[in-house]
Amino acid sequence: MQASNYTVQKRSVPLHLSQRIKQNFQKYSDGPQCISKSNFKLACIATFGFKPSKPELQVIFQNSNTITETQFTRVLLDRAAYMDQEDETRKLFHLFDMSGCGYISYSDFESVANDVAPVLKKDALLRAFREADRDNDGKVSYKDFERVMTVLPLS
């Protein structure tokens, strides 16, 4: 891959996000050079916390069942370059805060996670929630959530 293929015009993409995009392609790809529409959705959830809309998928995949790694990377880097990360984090936090009480309970977290990624196991969900809940009070505050979304190293 050459960096020139991924030049973004509006805003530069943080290195950690570029790395996450590459890692998520490797994790969700259907082979060394392509990714299917269903796995693309999972990679988007893992990268940004939400899946693309049906119209976005139609534009991205056109009349194909897969896209190449180069296409995948370009699409996600372009999307990242135009995103207001703080705004997206705030929106995502409010999505998880289903009761509107200003924090994310485990039941809210589990409910949303089951909707967007039903294949995740309960022990993985619990580990993720505990990692986010730094003070172990059973609640993920916005500050905790923002830290998880922006600071944690990729694994």
Tell me the domain boundaries of the chain: 12-82, 85-150
Q: 151 pLDDT exceeds 70?
A: no
Euclidean distance between CA atoms 146 and 103, whole angstroms: 12
Distances (CA, A) of 28 to 7, 11, 46: 23, 26, 10
pLDDT score at 153: 43
Per-residue pLDDT tens over the stretch 54-110: 999 999 999 899 999 999 999 998 888 766 667 778 888 888 888 888 899 999 999
12-82 and 85-150 share one fold: yes
pLDDT score recorded for residue 149: 80
Q: Is the pTM of this model over 0.75?
A: no
**Which residues, at least 6 apart from 131, have a Cβ–Cβ distance to it below 8 Å?**
148, 152
Q: Which CATH superfamily is domain 85-150 in?
A: EF-hand (1.10.238.10)
107 versus 118: the higher-pLDDT residue is 107
Share of the chain above pLDDT 90, in %: 41
Instruction: Name the average pLDDT for the chain.
Output: 83
Q: Which residues of 17-44 are buried (b: 16+ CB within 10 A; e: fewer)?
A: bbebbbebbeebbeeeebbbeebbbbbb
DSSP 4: G
> Comparing C-alpha atoms, which of 149, 27, 32 is closest to residue 93?
149
Residue-wise DSSP of 11-47: SPPPHHHHHHHHHHHHHH-SSSSEEEHHHHHHHHHHH
Q: How far apart are CA 93 and CA 71, in angstroms?
A: 29
Residue 11 has what pLDDT?
A: 55
Q: What is the mean pLDDT of residues 133-142?
A: 91
What is d(CA 21, CA 71) in angstroms, rounded to the nearest whole number? 12
Homologous superfamily of domain range 12-82: EF-hand (1.10.238.10)
